[in-house]
């Protein structure tokens, strides 16, 4: 397939933000795509090479890309950087540079999607000393044969700056129309996606086997299932209103969610955001098979750090020490954990997703043989506000965050946040009623004790409609020296020359970061703000929302993608929630 077909489509898609137009362009593209290439096209459209859980990252830095453009155009890196500064987009800068060059040379050959994909794949796989040189060679050979427009999209994919604003749902709408003739079939595609987390595979199946193939789509062991999520409730009373007469209450443990895929001695672990995290938990890989009584299972558990002497649960931060590349064995013995199971999604060849909660729990109790390391999450059946309060108290006293409330007769809704599961937390510190997970977009150099690190961070919420990150506050409290060092280490690799175009902020920072890292903060209040951009114009024209007195909680949420951060709808609902309370008080 000619790469120009894809780059023409991408060009059209970049020029619109309207979902219907985007869908039309995608349908047209799918119709022009041979069946055996459609999977690769879907990954490229998402700026990826494979589904996220395979962990294949392109990892090309701006500097290297600039060198490659320089090599294939004969124009100096300095000039290219100047152009980049003007346009703010390296892909676009490359188009301008290469357009000058094509006036004097001829294109050698038509490049294909297959060739671009394969080359990008090779680049992603390169490691070691000479990898930078090799990467540059591969990139400049592609750029040599590409038209300026093609080159611009190759670079955007390489640098991770392709921003089409096509959400997964839009992609599935287009697949449903192109391959089944009916947009309504999206929900069937969505089911397949929720159990495989692999949109490329879903596209291949629907393209080759149409709807029937998708309906027969099964859970694949070692491909992660998208997790079910919970809505939040603020009180025992609200819980009863939403859950009815009788339901399950489980401790909400403060650890890391782990999806375990087990077949005999083979164990693979996925995080909440479906990253393969097996490397951080060699102890789980070793110990779990002994506690599992089944041939093949997919289970969900919360891995929690514990005090080995007392068995007490320790806060989530302790687990952070496990996130290291080297000396993991030392971290395993220094920071012991227990694995606390709460669900079963697949058992000996059969999906368990359609089973009711109470049936799944029964099965789970049969599968997991409890010992000092493997446990079942404490659960009880509750019927009244008193029951809930009692159990919440127990849970908090054991070092947990609160309760998860689950309807007894409901299936597991993969990939959905709904009301069949609720979470009730007791956030003493937090007057807003809940914490927020925000994306670190900028940094300010510290003074005094904080010289040499970022003393204050600029944070953003996620704007789902525009796929951007909108500034919401500066935070400078809650950081111990250890956190400041740790954050400095992590953030140093995310510094960019120019502000990423997905960052929406009027406030200027000393340094800008790739919007990738998510941290948790609490705050005393959400207020209208003339400077910050979160939910701009939603409450009042010209004003955004901002956090007052934000404080870092110590949680660096490495298991979350920036798109999983608190979004502006959540910020608005917290803003409105606090208004109600304030209003209620003033009436009394
Ligand atoms: P939070 O910030 O509250 O952890 P979240 O967005 O990560 O929220 P939610 O679905 O809102 O996810 O809350 C559920 C999370 O709580 C799960 O992802 C899991 O890590 C954790 N958890 C702890 N105990 C349980 C339990 N018993 N059942 C389900 N999830 C649990």
**Domains observed in the chain:** 48-159 (1.10.3260.10), 229-429 (3.30.470.30), 436-577 (2.40.50.140)
- Calculate mean pLDDT across residues 460-468: 92
Please enumerate, as own/partner, the contacts of 61-68 that have beta carbons within 8 Å and a separation of 24 or more.
62/90, 62/159, 62/496, 62/497, 64/132, 64/135, 64/136, 64/139, 65/90, 65/139, 65/155, 65/158, 65/159, 66/90, 67/136, 68/135, 68/136, 68/139, 68/140, 68/143
- Calculate mean pLDDT across residues 141-167: 86
Nearest-angstrom CA–CA distance, 179 and 27: 9
pLDDT single digits (tens) 131-146: 888 999 999 889 888 8
CB atoms near residue 99 (< 10 Å): 14
pLDDT at 588: 26
User: What mean pLDDT is reported for the chain?
Assistant: 89
pLDDT confidence bin for 63, thresholds 50/70/90: confident
pLDDT confidence bin for 235, thresholds 50/70/90: confident
Residue 3 near residue 113, CB atoms below 8 Å: yes
> Ligand 1 centroid to 252 CA: how many Å?
7
Q: Is residue 102 packed enough to be buried (19+ CB in 10 Å), middle (13-18) or exposed (0-12)?
A: middle
pLDDT confidence bin for 579, thresholds 50/70/90: low
pLDDT single digits (tens) 554-569: 999 988 999 999 999 9
The answer to whether residue 102 scores a pLDDT higher than 70 is no
pLDDT at 269: 97
pLDDT at 325: 75
Residue 77 near residue 67, CB atoms below 8 Å: yes
pLDDT confidence bin for 188, thresholds 50/70/90: very high
Two structure tokens written together for 140: 């400049």
Question: What residues line ligand 1, using a CB cutoff of 6 Å?
Answer: 229-230, 250, 252-253, 257, 272, 302, 342, 377, 404, 423
Of 247, 276, 238, 246, give the one whose Cα is nearest residue 260: 276
> Ligand 1 centroid to 229 CA: how many Å?
7
> Ligand 1 centroid to 419 CA: how many Å?
14
Pocket residue to mutate for ligand 1, from 394, 423, 558, 569, most atoms within 8 A of Cβ: 423
pLDDT at 586: 30
HSE of 76, CA atoms in CB hemisphere, 13 A: 3
Pocket residue to mutate for ligand 1, from 404, 415, 417, 564, most atoms within 8 A of Cβ: 404
pLDDT at 174: 96
pLDDT over 70, % of the chain: 96
pLDDT single digits (tens) 200-224: 999 999 999 988 889 888 999 999 9
pLDDT confidence bin for 101, thresholds 50/70/90: low
φ, ψ (nearest 5 deg) of residue 269? -115, 135
pLDDT at 584: 38
Residue 474 has what DSSP assignment? E
Asked whether the CA dihedral 485, 487, 493, 494 is positive or negative, the reply is negative
Pocket residue to mutate for ligand 1, from 226, 228, 230, most atoms within 8 A of Cβ: 230
pLDDT at 569: 94
The answer to whether residue 428 scores a pLDDT higher than 50 is no
| Lowest-confidence pick of 133-137, 167-171, 317-321, 480-484 | 317-321
267's CB contacts (< 8 A; 6+ apart) are 260, 261, 278, 284, 285, 288, 289
Closest residue by CA, ligand 1 atom 4: 254
pLDDT at 429: 41
Catalytic amino acids? 252
* Separation of CA 200 from chain center: 18
Write the DSSP assignment of 360-416 as a string of letters: HHHHHHHHB---SSEEEPPEEEE-SHHHHHHHHHHHHHTT--EEEEE-TT----TT-
Closest residue by CA, ligand 1 atom 12: 229
The answer to whether residue 124 scores a pLDDT higher than 80 is yes
pLDDT at 585: 35
pLDDT single digits (tens) 480-522: 888 999 999 999 889 887 888 899 999 999 999 999 999 999 9
> Ligand 1 centroid to 282 CA: how many Å?
23
pLDDT at 107: 56
pLDDT at 106: 53
Two structure tokens written together for 189: 């595609």
């Amino acid at each position: 397939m000619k790469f120009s077909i894809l780059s023409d489509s991408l060009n059209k898609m970049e020029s619109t933000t309207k979902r219907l137009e985007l869908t039309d362009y995608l349908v047209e593209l799918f119709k022009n795509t041979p069946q055996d290439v459609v999977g690769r096209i879907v990954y490229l459209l998402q700026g990826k090479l494979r589904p996220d859980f395979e962990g294949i990252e392109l990892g090309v830095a701006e500097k290297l890309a600039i060198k490659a453009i320089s090599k294939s155009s004969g124009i100096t890196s300095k000039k290219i950087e100047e152009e980049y500064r003007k346009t703010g987009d390296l892909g676009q800068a490359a188009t301008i540079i290469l357009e000058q060059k094509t006036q004097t040379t001829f294109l050698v050959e038509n490049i294909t999607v297959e060739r671009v994909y394969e080359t990008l794949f090779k680049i992603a796989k390169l490691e070691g000393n000479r990898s930078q040189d090799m990467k540059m060679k591969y990139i400049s050979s592609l750029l040599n044969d590409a038209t300026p427009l093609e080159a611009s999209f190759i670079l955007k994919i390489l640098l991770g700056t392709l921003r089409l604003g096509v959400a997964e749902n839009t992609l599935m709408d287009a697949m449903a129309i192109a391959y089944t003739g009916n947009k309504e079939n999206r929900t069937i595609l969505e089911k397949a996606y929720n159990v495989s987390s692999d949109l490329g595979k879903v596209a291949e199946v629907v393209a080759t086997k149409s709807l029937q193939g998708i309906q027969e789509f099964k859970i694949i062991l070692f491909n992660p299932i998208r997790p079910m999520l919970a809505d939040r409730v603020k009180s025992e009373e609200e819980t009863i209103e939403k859950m009815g007469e009788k339901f399950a209450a489980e401790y909400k443990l403060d650890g890391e969610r782990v999806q375990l895929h087990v077949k005999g001695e083979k164990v693979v672990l996925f995080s909440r955001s479906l990253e393969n995290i097996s490397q951080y938990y060699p102890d789980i890989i070793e110990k779990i098979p002994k506690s599992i009584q089944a041939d093949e299972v997919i289970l969900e558990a919360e891995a929690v750090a514990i005090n080995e002497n007392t068995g007490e649960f320790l806060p989530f931060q302790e687990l952070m020490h496990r996130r290291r590349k080297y000396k993991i064995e030392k971290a395993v013995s220094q920071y012991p954990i227990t694995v606390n199971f709460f669900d079963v999604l697949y058992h000996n060849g059969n999906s368990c997703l359609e089973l009711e909660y109470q049936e799944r729990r029964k099965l789970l109790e049969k599968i997991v043989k409890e010992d000092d390391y493997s446990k079942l999450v404490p659960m009880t059946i509750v019927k009244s506000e008193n029951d809930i309060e009692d159990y919440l108290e127990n849970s908090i006293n054991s070092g947990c965050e609160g309760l998860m409330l689950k309807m007894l007769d409901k299936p597991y809704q993969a990939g959905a946040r709904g009301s069949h599961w609720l979470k009730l937390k007791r956030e003493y510190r937090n007057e807003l009623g809940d914490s927020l997970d925000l994306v670190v977009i900028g940094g300010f150099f510290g003074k005094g004790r904080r010289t040499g690190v970022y003393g204050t961070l600029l944070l953003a919420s996620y704007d789902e409609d525009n796929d951007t990150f909108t500034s919401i506050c500066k935070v400078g409290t809650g950081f111990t020296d250890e956190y400041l060092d740790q954050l400095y280490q992590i953030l140093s690799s995310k510094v960019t020359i120019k502000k990423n175009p997905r960052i929406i902020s009027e406030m200027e920072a000393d340094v800008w970061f790739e919007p990738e890292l998510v941290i948790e903060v609490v705050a005393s209040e959400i207020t209208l703000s003339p400077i910050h951009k979160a939910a701009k114009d939603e409450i009042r024209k010209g004003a955004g929302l901002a956090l007052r007195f934000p404080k870092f909680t110590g949680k660096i949420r490495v298991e979350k993608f920036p798109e999983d951060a608190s979004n502006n709808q959540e910020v608005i609902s917290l803003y409105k929630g606090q208004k109600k309370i304030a209003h209620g008080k003033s009436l009394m």
